[in-house]
């Protein structure tokens, strides 16, 4: 029996795994909230930052032009406060690379299951 692993998911056929590659590419290019949590914040380093509960949507992340931002990611342990829009977009690109590495986005793994040929081990299962 053979199956495939791509981005931490199991697929029964190579075609299904290849289809998942196309879907993941769309996520990596168009859905930054998958791997980044971005919030528009107010305040300053001196007076302290006021951080809202609401996260920016994918479209808001991609179109932000001014203000200050907080950037975090579940795939990287540091938090960044007071980023400009350009700095925030750079962090999002970093988070994307970290996420793509974490899920091994560049590899489809083929798994072949082989039963032992000399001993029947099914009685132990």
Residue 95 within a domain: yes
Alpha helix positions (H), the chain: 14-30, 58-63, 85-102
Q: Radius of gyration over alpha carbons of the chain, in Å? A: 21
Residue 26 within a domain: yes
Residue 37 within a domain: yes
Q: pTM of the entire structure?
A: 0.86
Residue 123 within a domain: no
Residue 22 within a domain: yes
Identify the sign of the CA torsion 40, 42, 44, 47: negative
SS3 112: strand
Residue 122 within a domain: no
In 3D space, the residue among 104, 110, 105, 102 whose CA is nearest the CA of residue 15 turns out to be 110
Residue-number span of the structural domain to which 80 is assigned: 2-116
Identify the sign of the CA torsion 77, 54, 94, 30: positive
Number of domains in the chain: 1
| Average pLDDT per block of 10 residues along the chain, 125 residues long | 96 98 97 97 93 96 95 94 96 97 96 87 81
What is the predicted pLDDT for the residue at 87?
A: 97
């Amino acid at each position: 029996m053979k199956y495939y692993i791509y981005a931490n998911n199991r697929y029964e056929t190579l075609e299904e795994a290849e289809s998942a590659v196309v879907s993941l590419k769309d996520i990596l290019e168009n859905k930054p909230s998958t791997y980044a949590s971005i919030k528009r914040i107010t305040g300053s380093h001196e007076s302290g930052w006021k951080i809202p509960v609401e996260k920016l949507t994918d479209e808001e992340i991609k179109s932000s032009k001014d203000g200050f931002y907080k950037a975090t990611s579940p795939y990287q342990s540091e938090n960044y406060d007071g980023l400009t829009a350009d700095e925030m977009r750079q962090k999002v690109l970093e988070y994307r690379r970290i996420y793509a590495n974490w899920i091994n986005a560049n590899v489809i793994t083929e798994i072949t299951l082989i039963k032992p040929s000399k001993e029947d081990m099914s009685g132990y299962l």
